[in-house]
Amino acid sequence: MDHNVRRQLEVLRNSKDDSVTGVLYTWHVSLSPGSSVTIRGKPAISFSKNPETQVDFHTGTDENSDIAFHFQVYFGISVKINNRQNGSWNCEVASSEMPFVEDQPFELHTSVLQNEYQVTVNGQKYYSLAHRLPPQSVKFVQVWREVSLSSVCVCQRGM
């Protein structure tokens, strides 16, 4: 068994214009400590139009399932991290620290550590969220809203 399976998918935009708002990327995964998800892209519209992007690690096979890790960027304003369990959102972690820059590409890297998710942006650690649901319960990753993706890489490490 390959203990460091690396899957990379070049993501094609779902729209031919710059007003990308739907689900851009969905990938069925199996995460565990040592896994990571790296997203490369840039905001698709001006910060003055309040763009957002959202990354969800779902525990089921549909969008209504629990979310082990929810990362939402309100470009130019704030970042909110949370999870949804049994249909209800828990206490969110909010930060006004904003490493995302208008019209600039970014690399958003989420590492699955033993006790938490750790998020770096462009190589700098910014955010973390303690596991509230086991990362092994994650079934798919979804990226959506106003972002233009260039790639998403899910790096899985076997047990």
53 lies in some domain: yes
Q: Give per-residue pLDDT as tens, 126-149.
A: 999 999 999 999 999 999 999 999
Domain span at residue 107 reads: 7-156
pLDDT, tens digit (0-9, with 9 covering 90-100), for 72-116? 999 999 999 999 999 999 999 999 999 999 999 999 999 999 999
- The Cα 115–Cα 137 span in angstroms is 14
Q: Which residue has the tokens 């998020």?
A: 119
Paired tokens of 126: 């910014």
* pTM for the whole structure: 0.85
* Domain count across the chain: 1
Domain-embedded: residue 1: no
In a domain, 2, yes or no: no
Question: For the domain that residue 144 is a member of, what is the CATH number?
Answer: 2.60.120.200
Which residues lie closer than 8 Å to 88 by C-beta, 6 or more apart? none
Is residue 114 included in any domain, yes or no? yes
Q: Is residue 67 assigned to a domain?
A: yes
Q: Is residue 77 part of a domain?
A: yes
Tens of pLDDT, residues 62-76: 889 999 999 999 999
Residue 87, domain member (yes or no): yes
The answer to the question of residue 28 being in a domain is yes
Host H or E run for residue 104:
none
